[in-house]
Chain A
Amino acid sequence: MVDGTENDIKPNGNYSSDNNLLIDCKNVDVFYGDKQALYNVSLGINEKEVTSLIGPSGCGKSTFLRCLNRMNDVIDSCSISGNITINGEDIYNPNIDVVELRSRIGMVFQKPNPFPKSVFDNVAYGPRLHGKIADKDEMSHKVEASLVRAGLWDEIKDRLNEPGTSLSGGQQQRLCIARAIAVDPEIILMDEPCSALDPIATAKIEELIDELKTNYTIVIVTHSMQQAARVSQRTAFFHLGNLIEVGDTENIFRSPENEQTEAYVTGRYG
């Protein structure tokens, strides 16, 4: 188990950056019923860079990701202790409005999950929901801008009225990214966004992630270590519910401090 106090003192590990700490998690424990899924995880996530969470299946990385936008709330048996702040604000404070919180934190899932509505309505859903845009023209601009940013506009600008579910898998996933960024979140959480996609679609999404990091803070869960190495600036390695090591992606892959991390990233393990 990781020594929590050590992470408390230097949540950024030995990483030196000009970037500010945006999300700060301290001593997070998560239980599903009696089963503990996360043990005393303390992890800081910097603004406007990509942090990847890696580790073998069942290590708790998705659970951790879902703590950040409180998606674990919908699971009745799930209980969380510890402290998670975003911009210094405790997101588990009872006064926090979960709906408002989720409008600041977008999420992209493993399997593309567009709504069974038109492409346009998929993207416009979030802005409409939060009543941010009332004007029709403004809404079309917003949809266009989100689709452009998601790198999808050129491919589907003539198909805005077709159902989102009729697109190809890679397009659907980018549509989901467009849907997430249409509400102008600060943070985008991605839960294995490429695991259901072919290599070409994956490459497109990775390019997109690289572009998005100029505007958004991105946390990505991935099973592909190459992907973590390609897209992220920082990497956190989870194992059996513990955060084993966190640091600069280069350091994690080249000279990990922990033996378990080394074993995992070199493919001998997990």
Chain B
Amino acid sequence: MSKNINSMMLKRQSAEKRFRFYGQASLAIALIMLVVIISSMTYRSIPAFTNYGLNLSINLSKENIAQDNINYRRLIRDNISLLDSGCDDRKCRKEFLRLFSSGAAYELRDTIENDPSLIGKDFSKFILFSDDADLFYKFGIDNSLPESERRLNDREITWLNGFKELGLVEKRFSTNLFTNGDSREPEIAGVLGAVIGSLLTILITLIISFPIGVLSAIYLESFAPKNKLTDFIEVNINNLAAVPSIVFGLLGLALFINFFGMPRSAPLVGGCVLSLMTLPVIIIATRASLQSVPPSIREAALAVGASEMQVVFQHLLPAALPGILTGTIIGLARAFGESAPLLLIGMVAFVVDIPGSFTDPATALPVQVYLWADSPERAFVAKTSAATLVLIFLLIIINLAAVILRKKYQLKW
């Protein structure tokens, strides 16, 4: 008899040990995957954080024209021509100039506008290389390929090696990535425009979906009569949460842009579309957290003579707030990482300017990732990873905010 019990106990204990091991193993797998994703993303994005450039000495004294008439492009070109290219025809000179970023003129303009005292002096300016030259310094080039299949021909490689021997080449941290909008030139393209676009969009989403979602949840939970219509609405809200996001994009295109005539590619419309997507999530989360408030609190308040509305706003809502905030932020984080519905309302456009208002053309960070991943230039590979890292970083901040808010408003029972 006792032998029987003993063997049963052993079985039970080993079952428990096994179960614990399964749990730890699955957790470990999940962690490893996370580490692999983040580290491979980080590794691939490293080249995007630096740029190679050339320290070019600029001679402004030659220019005797007024400041607002300076032709910066020409200024750069003339000064670059001072370097010895050994060219004697136009095609060769053009090739030589192509090694440098077309964004260099804008940077020179900014430098001079910030410090007009430079006019009339000689000074040294860091000029970015174009993406192909930049990649040459970063990764070298496969010489086994025939010249016609390479991005750089033999003459260009000779020039680049020459710069290096002269000690003019320098590697710098790429601030462009964080301070610029999108660009066709990988070396000057940045995520700031997309980040701002995303933030504007998500702000609209929050403003629209939070009050509407919370109020509808409160009404459904505390005031709505329990009848067929309410049941029907409830079932459909739950269904909405499962609708693929691209469908909301189609709806947004038809409703907001075609019917209401809102501007295309604008954070305003993006926010409206993402609100449609986030609303059911917020409603469901709010209802669940309202339901988790002990009914005894409601009874206590009613018995002291609180009205139904006072019960909701003085007792249920404060107690449910941590859950509501968590649900809202998780819904917003999902919307933040969403790209499909934004593609349909035109937020996939190539936007160079950083959006300044809710109606400016803008794109969102996940869409930017998609755009860069789709670009043919090799330098965009690293940029794509870098933009993804920025996206993940922002999502981590959002989720951290959820944790902090939940801790802060947690009531003790």
Contacts and interface: CB of A to CB of B under 8 A. Distances in A.
Interface of A: 69, 71, 74, 76, 99-100, 102-103, 106-107, 109, 111, 113-116, 125-126, 129-130, 163, 165-166, 176, 179-180, 183
A180 B303 contact: yes
B413 A116 contact: yes
11 contacts: A71-B299, A100-B305, A102-B302, A102-B304, A113-B300, A115-B301, A116-B411, A126-B305, A163-B412, A179-B304, A183-B305
Contact of B300 (A76, A109, A130, A166): A109
Contact of B412 (A71, A107, A116): A116
Given A111-B296, A116-B319, A126 B412 contact: no
A180 B305 CA distance: 10
Contacts of A130: 305
A102 B305 CA distance: 5
A111 B310 CA distance: 22
Contacts of A69: 303
Contacts of B304: 102-103, 106, 125-126, 129, 179-180, 183
Interface-centre pick from B226, B300, B304, B310 (highest chain A CB count, 10 A): B304
A71 B305 contact: no
A190 B271 CA distance: 52
Interface in B38-90: none
A111 B411 CA distance: 19
Given A115-B301, A125-B304, A183-B304, 11 more contacts: A71-B302, A74-B302, A100-B305, A102-B302, A102-B303, A103-B305, A113-B299, A113-B300, A115-B315, A126-B305, A179-B304
Given A76-B226, A113-B294, A116-B413, A106 B306 contact: no
A167 B226 CA distance: 37
Interface of B: 225-226, 294, 296-307, 310, 315, 319, 411-413
Contacts of A116: 297, 319, 411-413
B302 A109 contact: no
B303 A106 contact: yes
Contacts of B411: 116
Contacts of A111: 296
A190 to B, nearest CB: 11
B320 to A, nearest CB: 12
A140 to B, nearest CB: 19
Nearest to B318: A116
Contacts of B315: 115
Nearest to B226: A76
A115 B303 contact: no
Contacts of A76: 225-226
A148 B63 CA distance: 92
Nearest to B308: A74
A103 B294 CA distance: 22
Contact of B307 (A99, A106, A107): A99
Given A102-B305, A103-B305, A130-B305, A109 B412 contact: no
Contacts of A179: 300, 304
Nearest to A103: B305
Q: Which 10 A-B pairs have the closest CB atoms?
A: A107-B303, A113-B296, A103-B305, A102-B305, A126-B304, A116-B411, A113-B300, A76-B226, A99-B305, A99-B307
B338 to A, nearest CB: 36
A102 B299 CA distance: 11
Contact of A109 (B225, B299, B305): B299
A109 B304 CA distance: 12
A195 to B, nearest CB: 14
A15 B65 CA distance: 116
Contacts of B225: 76
A112 to B, nearest CB: 9
A204 B256 CA distance: 66
Contacts of B319: 116
A126 B307 CA distance: 12
Interface-centre pick from B226, B299, B305, B411 (highest chain A CB count, 10 A): B305
A109 B296 CA distance: 8
A29 B303 CA distance: 22
B412 A129 contact: no
A125 B298 CA distance: 13
Contacts of B298: 74
Nearest to A125: B304
B413 A165 contact: yes
A40 B412 CA distance: 44
Contacts of B297: 113, 115-116
A126 B412 CA distance: 21
Contacts of A115: 297, 300-301, 315
A125 to B, nearest CB: 6
A129 B313 CA distance: 13
A263 B246 CA distance: 70
A99 B294 contact: no
A176 B305 contact: no
Contacts of A99: 305-307
A166 B315 CA distance: 18
A224 to B, nearest CB: 21
A129 B305 contact: yes
B61 to A, nearest CB: 75
Contact of A71 (B294, B303, B306, B413): B303
Nearest to A122: B300
B226 A176 contact: no
Interface-centre pick from A74, A100, A166, A179 (highest chain B CB count, 10 A): A74
Contacts of A107: 299, 303
Nearest to B319: A116
Contacts of A114: 300
B205 to A, nearest CB: 31
B308 to A, nearest CB: 8
A114 B226 CA distance: 29
A244 B223 CA distance: 38
B292 to A, nearest CB: 13
Contacts of A103: 304-305
